Structure 1
Amino acid sequence: MEGYITFRGGFWNYFSMGMDAQVSYAFHSERKLHPEKFKNQLINQSTYAKLGCSQGWFLASLFHPSSRNIAHLAKVEIMKRSGKWEKLHVPNSIRSIVCLNLPSFSGGLNPWGTPNSNKRRDRDLTPPFVDDGLLEVVGFRDAWHGLVLLAPNGHGTRLAQAHRIRFEFRRGSADHTFMRIDGEPWKQPLPSDDDNTVLVEISHLGQVNMLATDGCKSKSVNDPSSPCCHDAEDKDSDEEDFAQAEEFRKFGAADTFRIPDEVDISQLS
């Protein structure tokens, strides 16, 4: 018997699995039991940190059995080209894995970072964009590894960029694991006998046009080869087309987004 879970983006930011999701699940459960204890952001953050310590996330090498590490829990495959699955090597030390649909995680942190020129050349890695159709797959060993995201240019272990990713769970030493999508965690049962398999597949369903700030990491906005981004020094382009391109670049929205002429912007609050 086979269980199949599919996430198709989309309108989600990230998917995570492992110890990070385990701490999030503990926090979520505690908040449901005692909502009166979670009154402000400072209390929430301190409680989350305490749960991280009690769950062993900061001393994972001592309190977290290696049999629950990602490499032992699941067979991971990625698809870089249509129709061809490749096995993804996940280091044995990785206890939490994050699949990013957007370059943002846990309050705006960027676990992927910006690969340098050597990494781009040797491993064919690119900076994260919101509209390139790629999922960034990042691994973490423990909470201390996660804290490097607070440092300039800090990032997790870059595992891969792919259009699709699949986790295959068979009978093992663990009967469950923890998963999370955009802060919503759950406890995922795993197969208890050799006849059962659980597959979790993540892929893109499509894209929609959205408003964005000037700092949005969008390939279609910042890539000079994109038809919606034009060179300001292109003297052959006429004034109307250039104005339209500038508007698209500024807002990151569909070119059909217009404020009606009869609306007085100065009267809008």
Structure 2
Amino acid sequence: MNNFGKEIKRVYDAIGPVLVYDDGNKRHLSFGDDDEQGCILKHQPTQIQYTYVRAMLLSLLFNAAPNRALLLGLGSGALANLLYHQLPKAHIDVVELRKVVVDLAYSHFQLARHPRLSVGIGDAAAKLAQPVDQPYDLIMSDIYHATGMDAHQSQAAYLERCYRLLAPQGWLVVNFWQEHKQVELLAQLHALFAQVWVNNIDGGNWIVMATNSPELPSDVQLKDNLNDWNKRLGFSLTQVAISLCLHR
């Protein structure tokens, strides 16, 4: 039995149910009775609630102003909303497999409607196989179903497609579980990227950030960037930054 509050919406598609719960303060998205796929603070929807999503935001310490971002997987839309508000010059593309998830993000999770935030329906792996007019400065991948991670997300072909859509100094950020931390996966990432950063998150998530950027901020600059982003965001990334390290 979950503790997400009262069920206020339940819809179905060919994949299964999508549920919305409300506990008065927060709203939760679920793909099953004991599953959670997204959460927002209702009075402040851009205040990220999940620790692992905050860890994904650490890529902004290295690349503070991406012009084009691609999000693979929408969930409640909290991450897309934050990037839209915090990166006022960026164009953000989102790919979500299930139309009902997109509809609920707009109707129940305060997802912004604006030309800079483009949400498409489709399969993430198929989207990555399509050519783009301009490369992305940031790609964030977080595709999960009720039963776990989408199998494509850890496959060599998927990671290579992400790499090919990135600008030369772009960053790929992927949410894995710690059970996916395997030599083969890390070897695939190192074959594509000059630098691979990893972050073990309490709760079982394993965040990977990878880039071919030849220039990275110094440790002093990273600390300054962290302080700046903490002020901008209104919540702290300091705790999740402690376990971020360069994988060699």
Q: TM-score, normalised by structure 2?
A: 0.25
Looking at both structures, which has the greater relative contact order when contacts are Cα pairs under 8 Å and sequence separation is at least 6?
Answer: 1
Taking structure 1 as the reference length, the TM-score comes to: 0.24
- Greater strand share, 1 or 2? 2
Q: Larger C-alpha radius of gyration, 1 or 2?
A: 1
